[in-house]
A and B are shown apart, each in its own frame.
Chain A
Amino acid sequence: MSELREQIQGVIENEPVALFMKGTPQFAMCGNSERALRALREAGAPVTAVDILPDPAIRQELTSLSGWPTIPQVFVKGELIGGADIVEELAATGELEQKLATALGPDYRESRAEHVVGVA
């Protein structure tokens, strides 16, 4: 397995909530990435964001690992939740908060604040 692939897998497996996006939370470069981020923030999720734009290989490896073709991609405790539409829909029905509480514990809102990690 390539080093990049291992790094991506590490983020997916080790971060409570991983958001692979175009750009950064401070400066999202795509409407769908922005929508997913907003839904996660409103649910109080401790988001770890990864910008996929610096290297096209990041997206290739990510899609090969997840089987999901589009960006953004959201993972909770290593499980693919989906892209912007799914995260928004789950947030609207309250299922996102339930999922976060089940996966991360009822006090998940108090855990680490949003941050950004790089791969590659």
Chain B
Amino acid sequence: MAVDRLRNLLEQAFPGSEVDVQDRTGGGDHFQVTVASARFDGLPLLEQHRLVNDALAEPLRDGTIHELRITTRGTE
């Protein structure tokens, strides 16, 4: 399942974080990911999203993710 793959990648990239992955349409290619991690503390939004994009680089590249929505939160 793509949802599990995405969740695993995010949990590896952000150890100890809260990760949520939703399949928005049920089609397995439109996702909403939410990550709450201390790594985001003090980082501009652009850099927070860049870290998430980096963690998901492979499924973004191979076409698994057709559409991605990202919500990030720090812990502060």
Task: Let me know if B69 is at the binding interface, CB within 8 A.
Answer: yes
Chain B 36-69 interface 0/1 with A at a Cβ cutoff of 8 Å (1 = within): 0000000001100110010001001100000111
Q: Is B70 an interface residue (CB 8 A)?
A: yes
CB of A85 within 8 A of CB of B49, answer: yes
Q: How many residues of B contact A (CB 8 A)?
A: 13
Chain A interface size, as a band, is 10 to 19
B67 in contact with A68 (CB, 8 Å):
no
> A82-B45, A89-B45 in contact; A32/B53 too (CB < 8 A)?
no
Q: Is A10 an interface residue (CB 8 A)?
A: no
- Tell me the complex Cα distance, A81–B67, Å: 18
Interface presence of B71 (CB below 8 A): yes
When the two chains form the complex, which single residue of A32, A70, A81, A89 contacts B60, counting CB atoms closer than 8 Å?
A70
Q: Check B57–A85 contact: CB distance below 8 A.
A: no
Please, could you name 5 A-B residue pairs with CB atoms under 8 Å apart, sorted by A? Answer: A31-B67, A69-B61, A70-B60, A70-B68, A85-B49
* Chain B residues within 8 Å of A, Cβ to Cβ: 45-46, 49-50, 53, 57, 60-61, 67-71
